[in-house]
Structure 1
Amino acid sequence: MRVITLRSEANIGALADRLFANLTPETRKVAEASLLKANPHLARADAFKPGAVVRLPEVSGVKPKPSAANKDPRDDLIDGLREAVSGYRARLAAGLETENGEIKAQLELLKQREVAALLKNVPGAEELAKDLTDSLKQAAKTLPQDMKRQEEVFAQIEKDLSSLV
């Protein structure tokens, strides 16, 4: 049994239209029933997501479209993985950049004269601010290393995905 991946189909009827040629009302019912039997998860409304794997069943009296019958979904799956990894990479990089900016802003805030003056009036606050400053400086020092390591990991993931093609 061949497998395909969903594209933008939102329901079983749209999937049947994409996969099978010359459907009549009767053959459509048979095709849809066969698709659901081979893919029970498609009965759920949330199952229709681009990239989801679907089995293409043999349907008596109905021929699959050549584009559905002969296409290997491996490339679609790899493309979907690449897209997901790329999106995650971008979100992670943005998060690390935001964190870097927040660390710098907090260090600048702790350097302000007004803040230092306020800290002198609260018992133990100066020591706490010193510990916080040390912690922020350590984070500022290790964050670039984390960002570099992230890029190395994603480069390896890209290399691994390329080897699957």
Structure 2
Amino acid sequence: MNDRSTPTGHEALAGRCPPVLLTTVRRLFAPAGPGRLRCRLRYTVDDPYAVALDFVVDAGTGLCVTWVVARDLLDEGTRGPSGEGDFRVRPSPRRHDEAGRVRFSLRRPDGQVTFEAELAGVRRWLDATYALVPAGSEHRMLDWDALEADLLGRD
């Protein structure tokens, strides 16, 4: 039963902006291509289980390659190895003179690409997404009627 005195879903978030992180990532193990790219991490309450990583491959045109992954997979990957299949995340081995890093890898049959970002920035950004939509409450953000209509091909 929904208590109307306690706002849920989008009502509870009125006036709060979803967090965005703009950072620089380093491409690892790359024989050619740019060694560093801008990356925008986005979160939206319209897709509360997912996060988007936009890799800016051409700053002049704004061309991006976007990976959409589970928020909890990325969260777990900041603490230890996470993911199976195409997308994997893990903290990088730490050297004495550098800050903690996190690695994102996309594996496909035709190759693999791995990027490394500052762990603290990604962690702060993830914490902000969980402040906006706590773990376990994501289902409250979904419009189940609209999802059902979309799945069944109704208008």
TM-score normalised to the size of structure 2? 0.26
Looking at both structures, which has the greater relative contact order when contacts are Cα pairs under 8 Å and sequence separation is at least 6?
1
TM-score normalised to the size of structure 1? 0.24
- Higher helix fraction: Structure 1 or Structure 2? 1
- The structure that has the greater radius of gyration is 1
- Higher strand fraction: Structure 1 or Structure 2? 2
